[in-house]
Structure 1
Amino acid sequence: MTVRYRISAALAVLLMISSGVFPPALAQEKLLAPETNPPGDIPDNQVFITYTSPDGFGLKVPEGWSRTPIDHGVRFFDKYDELDATLDTASAAPTVSSAKADVIPDLKAAGHAVKVTAVKDVKLAAGPAVRISYLSNSAPNPVTNKLIRLEHERFILFKDGKTVTLDLAAPAGADNVDQWQLISNSLQWR
């Protein structure tokens, strides 16, 4: 019975070959091109999880990113991408004028080759905010000493005498518009 099956199977394969009809297992599958995301490009299928700060705010962050505490907040990072969220006190809500007078000089003094490209009022799900768009050089890579140019979106929100500053950074040219919008609009006061 086994010999008859082998002969029948071999005959079936010969008939398929001669007729040009192949089952999916025998058809040639085309190679897919590897996915190419520029360095720092958060993938469109990235999963986000909710981070709740002990300081009174929460937001969605990319799953799998490293987390480290920083002064008055937290930093999430993965390769060239970075997300900083800090809490501070303030007597009034930030404005475009106050950001230009107070925040931007500090940003330029503390950053590396900072170039501010825009400052404007925006509306986020958690309330009104000031958005500062800017470019900077990264800190040197500890292994290669290489620097890269980063794009930043910084959001400053105010409520009840407190501010949350959310700073999102990625290599210049990375396409993170949708992901950054998701993250900034996920910010909630707790």
Structure 2
Amino acid sequence: MRRRPITAAAAGLVLLTGTAVACSSSSGSSGTSSAPPSSSASSPAPAHESAPPGDIPDTQAYVPWSPSAGGFTVKVPEGWSRTTQGSATVFADKFNSIRIDSLAAAKAPTAQSVRSTDIPAIQGKSTGFALRQVTVVQRKGGSPVMAEYLADSAPDQVTGKSVQLDVQRYAFFKSGKETVLTLSGAVNADNVDPWKIVTDSFRWS
């Protein structure tokens, strides 16, 4: 994800990949040709798209969203598709996506616990994984642990191609509850400001 010189970065299905790593299997492109066979450890990595979708426009509007059970509110881009993947909700547009997971947690995550427990689990479900950093960051709604990494999107069902994603995963915690926002977009897309809008909007309720 291309950085603006004066802005520091970000962080973080598929989850979205599968990635966390965040891309939705239910929101993939459809077509008349059959989907490529599932990749295995011995299969070559899918080819990358040469010109993946890019920046979220500066004119993008955002709307507040809360799960039916309540507990928190976060702003998401207006007009993006919404899907449910198990207990997670995913908002997506092309290769940009926001995955929102909520779970019970006995204690607050730390940079060390995310690095030692969460990252190996994410890596095991991803292709093209490369960790950039794990750190605690400041947002208006708290101090989440942010993990930033690279991972490949799920292959397109028609072309079999994927794009390399820049993923930012934010783990917020309060009173035994953890909410994870995983934001992803094509590498070199300038989504620093949109991701800041989303993560700064998070509030416990």
Query: Does 1:114 pair with 2:114?
Result: no
Aligned pairs, number: 154
TM-score by length of 2: 0.72
Report which of the two has the higher share of helix.
1
Structure 2, unaligned runs of 5 or more: 1-51
Q: Is the 8 A contact 2:128 2:164 kept in 1?
A: no
Q: What does 1:88-99 align with in structure 2 at a 5 Å threshold?
A: 88-99=103-114
Residue 100 of structure 1: CA displacement?
0.8
Which string of whole-angstrom CA distances, capped at 9 and with x for unpartnered residues, describes residues 64-94 of structure 1?
1000112222000001101000001111111
Which string of whole-angstrom CA distances, capped at 9 and with x for unpartnered residues, describes residues 75-131 of structure 1?
000011010000011111111111111111001011222111011011111211100
Which string of whole-angstrom CA distances, capped at 9 and with x for unpartnered residues, describes residues 12-58 of structure 1?
xxxxxxxxxxxxxxxxxxxxxxxxxx723100110111111123221
Task: Find the counterpart in structure 2 of residue 51 from structure 1.
Answer: 65
TM-score by length of 1: 0.78
Secondary structure of 2:117's counterpart equals helix
Distance 2:157 2:65 in 1: 28
Task: Find the counterpart in structure 2 of residue 167 from structure 1.
Answer: 182
Which string of whole-angstrom CA distances, capped at 9 and with x for unpartnered residues, describes residues 115-161 of structure 1?
11011011111211100000000100111111110000100011111
Greater C-alpha Rg: 1
> What amino acid maps onto 1:41 in structure 2?
D
Task: Find the counterpart in structure 1 of residue 77 from structure 2.
Answer: 62
Distance 2:59 2:198 in 1: 14
> What amino acid maps onto 2:120 in structure 1?
P
Q: Is the 8 A contact 1:71 1:86 kept in 2?
A: no
Task: Find the counterpart in structure 2 of residue 104 from structure 1.
Answer: 119
Instruction: Choose from 72, 91, 94 the match for 1:79.
Output: 94
Q: What does 1:118-137 align with in structure 2 at a 5 Å threshold?
A: 118-137=133-152
Q: Percent identity?
A: 37
> What amino acid maps onto 1:127 in structure 2?
G
Runs ≥4 residues deviating over 6 A = none
Q: Is the 8 A contact 2:97 2:183 kept in 1?
A: yes
Greater RCO, 1 or 2 (C-alpha within 8 Å, sep 6+): 2
**RMSD in angstroms over aligned alpha carbons?**
1.4
Structure 1, unaligned runs of 5 or more: 1-37
Distance 1:40 1:62 in 2: 15
Which string of whole-angstrom CA distances, capped at 9 and with x for unpartnered residues, describes residues 155-184 of structure 1?
001111110000000000000001000000
